[in-house]
């Protein structure tokens, strides 16, 4: 997430964000469009990234992104755990959304559970229209079906990001971030899934940082509501700073320096310790295996654990750190996707990180959805 190589040509703070929006301009088409009302909120445990099947485990999900604009994005999801019986694994592959290029804005990939059924929804945001296209994942053998199209954002400089559940109803909220072109201040536009209320929350500035990234919301306070999270970095000093803010008031909750931009792959925060509060993660790439530094945000203690083939050039060629809870124990796992062979590997947090597990899924050259530089 914050792949260093993606920032190479982005010295200007005001162009940083467009790069991360892998996108395209053509209409997505094919599915019937229906609009449904929000379901009655039910208390849910913490949502799991890329859990398309809704069993509390992150699935083995990849996406093929064409290098030219206007081509379909190919989503590939293998259910976790995959059946060990030959040819019996649960696999779905379908086209949804359109690719972009360095010069053509395309769809931003923002899968999350917007509907509230505990399953990750197949979702893209089309910048030319300012519309979130939310589709239900095809559990059955039918194709992917659009569930709702939600107008939100689309003004100049607007960015869609996988936001968070900022109101605590168990559903992801539609989130647009706008950067002030003069002073670098950020404004967050949040459409509540609970009430439909639209909030404008000023929070943070990227100032004179060399690069910045919006991370998905994460709950640092333990109240079931995600906080706003973004990070800035400076190349000369390597300083990486996380900014965490209240999603209602925009008040600062936490500022944290953690990791080194020139050495680390900075993953979006998640709860690795199981206390219901997000933790900070920096995966050092300067030696191999890579070293996972995880900082418990409550105790401010950092653990270090080697895992994965490092990628010191940040070219995405070796093991890409990814997010998710793959053994379904409620804790995020140390995990990577090896693009060259399309293999997922992770350490089971349920076994105190002593057992390596994994699954081959997708195709070589795909991106893991849980590891895309965009959004996750």
46 vs 164: CA distance, rounded Å: 11
97 vs 81: CA distance, rounded Å: 27
Among 121, 136, 158, 173, binds Ca ion (CB under 5 A): 173
- When the beta carbons of 158 and 219 are compared against Ca ion, the nearer one is 219
Least distance to Ca ion, CB of residue 349, Å? 4
Least distance to Ca ion, CB of residue 228, Å? 10
Contact track, Ca ion, 209-228, x by CB under 5 A: ----------x-x-x-x---
Among 58, 78, 108, 349, binds Ca ion (CB under 5 A): 349
Least distance to Ca ion, CB of residue 176, Å? 15
User: What SS3 state is found at 351?
Assistant: helix
Beta bridge partners of 282: 266, 293
Query: CB 312: neighbour CB atoms within 10 A?
Result: 15
Q: Which stretch binds Ca ion (CB under 5 A): 92-100, 205-213, 272-280, 313-321?
A: 272-280
Binders of Ca ion among residues 276 to 315 (CB under 5 A) are: 277, 279
- By the 8 A CB rule, do 227 and 190 touch? no
Sign of the alpha-carbon torsion through 370, 372, 373, 375: negative
Quick check: 117 binds Ca ion (CB under 5 A)? Answer: no
Among 59, 121, 264, 271, binds Ca ion (CB under 5 A): 271
- When the beta carbons of 169 and 264 are compared against Ca ion, the nearer one is 169
Nearest partner of 362 among 37, 92, 32, judged by Cα: 92
290 vs 284: CA distance, rounded Å: 5
- When the beta carbons of 20 and 280 are compared against Ca ion, the nearer one is 280
281 vs 336: CA distance, rounded Å: 13
Q: How is residue 353 written in tokens?
A: 């990180």
In the chain, the largest separation of any two C-alpha atoms, in whole Å, equals 58
User: What SS3 state is found at 157?
Assistant: coil
Least distance to Ca ion, CB of residue 219, Å? 4
The residue count for the chain: 376
Size of the site for Ca ion (CB under 5 A): 21
Quick check: 327 binds Ca ion (CB under 5 A)? Answer: yes
Quick check: 275 binds Ca ion (CB under 5 A)? Answer: yes
Quick check: 113 binds Ca ion (CB under 5 A)? Answer: no
Least distance to Ca ion, CB of residue 192, Å? 6
352 vs 25: CA distance, rounded Å: 45
Q: How is residue 297 written in tokens?
A: 């945000």
Quick check: 51 binds Ca ion (CB under 5 A)? Answer: no
Residues at the interface with Ca ion (CB under 5 A): 165, 167, 169, 171, 173, 193, 219, 221, 223, 225, 271, 273, 275, 277, 279, 325, 327, 329, 331, 333, 349
């Amino acid at each position: 997430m914050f792949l260093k190589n993606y920032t190479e040509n982005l010295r200007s703070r005001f162009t940083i964000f467009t790069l991360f929006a892998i996108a395209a301009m053509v209409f997505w088409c094919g599915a019937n469009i229906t609009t449904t009302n929000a379901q009655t909120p039910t208390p849910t445990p913490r949502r799991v990234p890329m859990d398309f099947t809704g069993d509390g485990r992150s699935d083995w999900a990849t996406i093929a992104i064409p290098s030219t604009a206007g081509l379909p994005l190919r989503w590939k999801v293998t259910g976790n755990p995959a059946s060990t019986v030959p040819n019996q694994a649960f696999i779905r592959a379908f086209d949804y959304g359109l690719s972009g290029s360095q010069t053509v804005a395309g769809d931003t990939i923002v899968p999350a559970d917007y509907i509230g059924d505990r399953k990750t929804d197949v979702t893209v945001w089309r910048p030319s229209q300012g519309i979130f296209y939310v589709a239900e994942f095809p559990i059955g053998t039918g194709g992917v079906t659009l569930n709702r199209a939600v107008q939100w954002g689309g003004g100049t400089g607007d960015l869609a990001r996988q936001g968070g559940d900022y109101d605590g109803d168990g559903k992801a909220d539609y989130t647009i971030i706008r950067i002030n072109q003069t002073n670098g201040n950020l404004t967050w536009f949040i459409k509540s899934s609970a009430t439909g209320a639209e909030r404008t929350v000023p929070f943070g500035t990227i100032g004179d940082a060399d690069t910045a990234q919006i991370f998905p919301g994460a709950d640092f306070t333990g109240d079931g509501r995600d906080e706003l999270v973004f990070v800035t970095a400076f190349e000369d000093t390597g300083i990486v700073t996380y900014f965490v803010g209240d999603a209602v008031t925009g008040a600062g909750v936490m500022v944290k320096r953690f990791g080194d931009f020139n050495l680390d792959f900075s993953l979006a925060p998640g709860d690795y310790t199981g206390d219901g509060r997000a933790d900070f993660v920096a995966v050092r790439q300067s030696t191999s295996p890579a070293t996972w530094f995880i900082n418990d945000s409550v105790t401010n203690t950092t653990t270090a654990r080697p895992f994965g083939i490092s990628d010191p050039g940040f070219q995405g060629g070796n093991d890409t750190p990814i997010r998710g809870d793959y053994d379904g124990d409620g804790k995020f796992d140390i995990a990577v996707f090896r693009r060259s062979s399309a293999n997922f590997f992770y350490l089971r947090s349920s076994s105190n990180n002593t057992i390596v597990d994994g699954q081959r899924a997708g195709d070589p050259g795909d991106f893991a959805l849980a590891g895309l530089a965009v959004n996750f």
